[in-house]
Chain A
Amino acid sequence: MTPEPVTGDSDRAEFLDALATGRVTHAMRAARRLLKPRPRLHDLSFVRKAVAKTTHAAGIAPVRIAILSSFSIEFLHDSFEALAFLDGLRLEIYQAGFAQFRQDILDSASGLYAFEPSVVILAVEGRDLIPQLYGGRYEGPGEKADATVAAARDELVGLIRTFRERSKAVLLVHNFAPPRWRTLGILDAYVGRGQAQYVNELNDALYVASRQMPGVYVVDYAGLVMRYGAVNWYDTRMEHYARAPIAQAHLPDLAGEYLKFCRALAGRTKKCLVLDLDNTLWGGVLGEDGVQGIKLGPTYPGSAFMALQEAILSLHRRGVLLAIASRNNPADVDEVFADHPHMLLKREHFAAEQIHWGTKSDSLRAIAQKLSIGLEHIVFVDDNPVECEQVASELPMVTVIHLPTRPEQFVDTLTLDGLFDSLSLSEEDRRRGDLYKQRDQAEELRERSTSLEDFYARLQMEVVFAYVQPASLARASQLTQKTNQFNVTTFRYGEAEITARMNDPSWLVTTVQVRDVFGDNGIVGFVMAQATGDRAEIDTLLLSCRVIGRGVETAMLAYLGAWARSREVRWLHGKIILTAKNQPARGLYDSHGFRRVGDGENGELCWILDLKETSIEYPSWFRIVGASA
């Protein structure tokens, strides 16, 4: 007998090789195999160190993160940085000193502010904030406890407010898990408010405060502790020995929770879920078992597949696009949709379908093209390891979920990573499925039109310019975070940063809404520009891919020109920061009479328009609303 090879050796070798040769996407894929579904701690250390050492990884977007905590949280860094790499993110971490969160926030000259983070995590354990509410120090409900909890709540909200005034960074603040044991035991909530209720009220107050302050989000730490169970989550040994209460085996779960926010902020939220059919949406193989034979219904195992369909439907309601990639006979699939009594997912829920015997990678390419989204925004779900591997090797940018063998585990596998989580839910999200249907209709109209002008006229488009308002703030921020193609600078902005500009009269902060004969597309464009003296600079100009190719960008420039003139601005400056994705925006300034004037300090391409000589007109096919800037 020879010694067993240490598991993961080939993945490690592939990972190191890909990293050394600058093939970051391949390195990510190998690291994913090494670390998923549940990573080993020393593998995380290994990946973090290798990534930190590699200069190629410097090419991926850095996120500056500050971590403030009431306990020892340094052990988190390995998990956080290694798992961030799987999402194509590189973290630069500022770790505040042990339990220094108050000082770091209150002292405007602290290392926290000097670091200029883009994201700040405030991780405070309930027992550190209010020791009198946890464990043996709790004396029962009453005025004294009420006052203690209220004081702690006010202190915390005050800290958050101070931070919000001093920094534009996004703040992620932990809520609080209830005590592991109730001091009064089963009597807890009978002698007055229980301990757990005090904690709930504190958490409610935290959510209220975060809703009132832009760019402040609550990390549902209590929910995380509950998911894994407090007795597993905490390591009392390390709590006493190293002031590190969270069991290290669960640090990847905490890091994963933070990464949901980081992905959303970095525009890496997944947009489309592509599903296999056999043994994914139902049990069994349709071609062999027939419509009556597939497993889908109220009893096991059909109930597990129904539960998955329910979870998918909830994603659809949040604005996730659904698509099918299946090797099946289309006629059989038609029959399931038409006749199966337990199909919760209906045909109209799917924005694209690829049902044929070709490869899944071809299907995914076709789906991405039809929906005008990048492959890196697609999550592909399949039970078949061969299909999964085929997609992973052909299209390494696609996130592949290989379903486990037991269908009852499907829902957790799909949902717990929060791949589709975003920081806002707009009206546009809820209606996204319909919006894509409208676009299909517009495509048909284009085919029937004799010329482009004729097509535009038939669309009867109305473009609405409006200053950003509280109601549209979330959508504006979301557009900066999600729009990759028609976006001249791809600057990403949180609500706090946009709010600051709304209150500054030198800034133009305007949303663009487009309606047409098929319905309201909602807010699909956003522009920010700043006027200083006789010049104005366009900071952000973006357009959702849904309405590209209709001349809306010309209307936006016309609007900007009018605004600039009203400010007695002569020179309108535009710049383009090249990314892998913003090809569609690159010709914008050239095609509208701007003059190229070289490169900026950071390599951005610069243009200028003399408003005295040139003016940009609104295209004749639009009805313009709100034009008087």
Chain B
Amino acid sequence: VKILRHATESRIKRVMADVLGIDQHSIDEGTSMDGVAAWDSLSHIQLCVGLEQEFDVSLDVAEIEHMVSYRKIVEILQPKVAEI
């Protein structure tokens, strides 16, 4: 379970790094929409849809609005990914 968790997290970071144009290794628990200049409403939608595609999951608007930090993204995606 721990390994699975690790793989999921690095995939999330990869998508975030690609979409936001930031270094993958700079992403941690504290990374949030407020602290990253490139993370605006437009790239937020790209990020969420990119994550949906990467993990083959579907997000509803409430979840999209909630996923405003790395911590919250993991929180929402982890159970969906674990279900598979």
Additional A-B contact list (6), CB under 8 Å, known A248-B50, A249-B49, A249-B53: A4-B7, A6-B11, A40-B54, A42-B19, A45-B50, A238-B49
Partner of B53, one of A2, A4, A40: A40
Q: In chain A, what residue has the closest Cβ to B53?
A: A41
14 inter-chain pairs at a CB distance below 8 angstroms, sorted by A residue, are A2-B3, A6-B11, A40-B53, A41-B53, A42-B14, A42-B15, A42-B19, A42-B53, A45-B18, A75-B45, A237-B61, A248-B46, A248-B53, A249-B53
A-contacting residues of B (Cβ < 8 Å)?
3, 6-7, 10-11, 14-15, 18-19, 21, 42, 45-46, 49-50, 53-54, 60-61, 64
Q: How far is the CA of A1 from the CA of B11 in the complex (A)?
A: 17
Question: In the docked arrangement, what's the CA distance between A320 and B45, Å?
Answer: 42
Given contact pairs A6-B10, A40-B53, A238 touches B21 in the complex (Cβ within 8 A): no
Chain A 63-91 interface residues, beta-carbon cutoff 8 Å to B: 74-75, 78
| Contact B6–A3 (Cβ < 8 Å) | yes
| Complex alpha-carbon distance, A2 and B3, angstroms | 7
Q: Which residues of B contact A42 (CB under 8 A)?
A: 14-15, 18-19, 50, 53-54
Q: Which A residues lie within 8 Å of B45 (CB)?
A: 75, 238, 241-242, 244
Complex CA gap A6/B60 in Å reads 26
A241 adjacent to B14 (CB under 8 Å): no
* B60 touches which of A49, A78, A237, A249 (Cβ 8 Å): A237
Bound-state Cα–Cα, A41 to B6, Å: 22
Q: Which chain B positions have C-beta within 8 A of A241? A: 45, 61, 64
Tell me the nearest residue of chain A to B43, going by C-beta.
Answer: A45
Interface of A is mostly: helix
Answer yes or no: A43 CB below 8 A from chain B CBs.
Answer: yes
| Cβ of A181 under 8 Å from chain B | no
Q: Contact at A46–B18, with CB atoms within 8 Å?
A: yes
CB-defined contacts of A249 to chain B, threshold 8 Å:
49, 53
Cβ of A35 to closest chain B Cβ, rounded Å: 12
Chain A residues, Cβ within 8 Å of B11: 6
Residues in B whose Cβ lies below 8 Å from that of A3: 3, 6-7, 10
Q: How far is the CB of A480 from chain B (nearest CB, A)?
A: 38
Distance between Cα atoms of A75 and B50 in the complex (Å): 11
Q: How many angstroms between the C-alpha atoms of A2 and B60 in the bound complex?
A: 33
Distance (whole angstroms) from the CB of B15 to the closest CB of chain A: 4
Candidates A4, A40, A49, A75; contact of B46 at CB < 8 Å: A75
Chain B residues within 8 Å of A248, by CB: 46, 49-50, 53
User: Are the CB atoms of B46 and A41 closer together than 8 Å?
Assistant: yes
Q: How big is the A interface, by class?
A: 20 to 34
Q: Is the CB of A78 within 8 A of B54?
A: no
Within 8 Å by CB of A41, from B7, B14, B50, B60, lies B50
Closest to B42 in A: A74
Q: Which residues of chain A are within 8 angstroms of B7 by Cβ–Cβ distance?
A: 3-4
Q: In the assembled complex, how far is the CB of residue A78 from the closest CB belonging to chain B, in whole angstroms?
A: 7
Residue in chain B with minimal CB distance to A2: B3
Q: Of residues A2, A6, A40, which shows the largest number of chain B Cβ atoms within 10 Å of its Cβ?
A: A6
Interface string of A37-57 (1 = CB under 8 A from B): 000111101100100000000
In the complex, what distance in Å separates the CA atom of A242 from the CA atom of B47?
Answer: 14
Partner of A49, one of B3, B10, B21, B53: B21
Q: CB-CB < 8 A to B3: which residues of A?
A: 1-3
Question: From residue A138, how far is it (CB to closest CB) to chain B in Å?
Answer: 27
A361 to chain B, nearest CB (A): 34
Q: Point out the residues of chain A lying under 8 angstroms from B15, CB to CB.
A: 42
In angstroms, Cα B68 to Cα A41, docked, is 19
Chain B residues in 8 Å Cβ range of A242: 45
For the complex, what is the distance from the CA of A75 to the CA of B42, rounded to whole Å?
8
Q: Which residue, B53, B60, B64, has most C-beta atoms of chain A within 10 A? A: B53
Q: What is the CA–CA distance of A3 and B61 in the complex, to the nearest angstrom?
A: 31
Q: Which 8 A-B pairs have the closest CB atoms?
A: A42-B18, A46-B18, A42-B50, A3-B7, A42-B15, A41-B50, A45-B18, A248-B49
User: Nearest chain-A residue to B19 (Cβ)?
Assistant: A45
Contacts of B54 in A (CB 8 A): 40, 42
User: How distant is B45 from chain A, measured CB to nearest CB, in Å?
Assistant: 5
- A471-B15 Cα distance, complex, nearest whole Å: 52
A294 to B79, CA, bound (A): 52
Q: Which residue of B lies closest to A1 (CB)?
A: B3
Q: How far is the CA of A277 from the CA of B2 in the complex (A)?
A: 50
Measured in the bound complex, the distance between the Cα atoms of B22 and A584 in whole Å is 47
A75 to B3, CA, bound (A): 33
Docked complex Cα distance between A74 and B44 (Å): 13
B53 CB contacts on chain A under 8 angstroms: 40-42, 248-249
Bits for A241-262, please: 1 = Cβ < 8 Å to B, else 0. Answer: 1101000110000000000000
B-chain residues with CB within 8 Å of residue A1 when the two chains form the complex: 3
Q: How far is the CA of A238 from the CA of B46 in the complex (A)?
A: 11
**Chain A residues whose C-beta falls within 8 Å of the C-beta of B14 in the assembled complex:** 6, 42
Measured between beta carbons, the chain A residues less than 8 angstroms from B61 are: 237, 241
Contacts of B46 in A (CB 8 A): 41, 45, 75, 78, 248
Q: Give the distance in Å from the alpha carbon of A49 to the alpha carbon of B14 in the complex.
A: 14
Q: How far is the CA of A571 from the CA of B6 in the complex (A)?
A: 74
Instruction: Give B58's nearest chain A residue, CB to CB.
Output: A237
Find out whether the CB atom of B49 lies under 8 angstroms from the CB atom of A41: yes
Nearest to B13 among chain A residues (CB) is A6
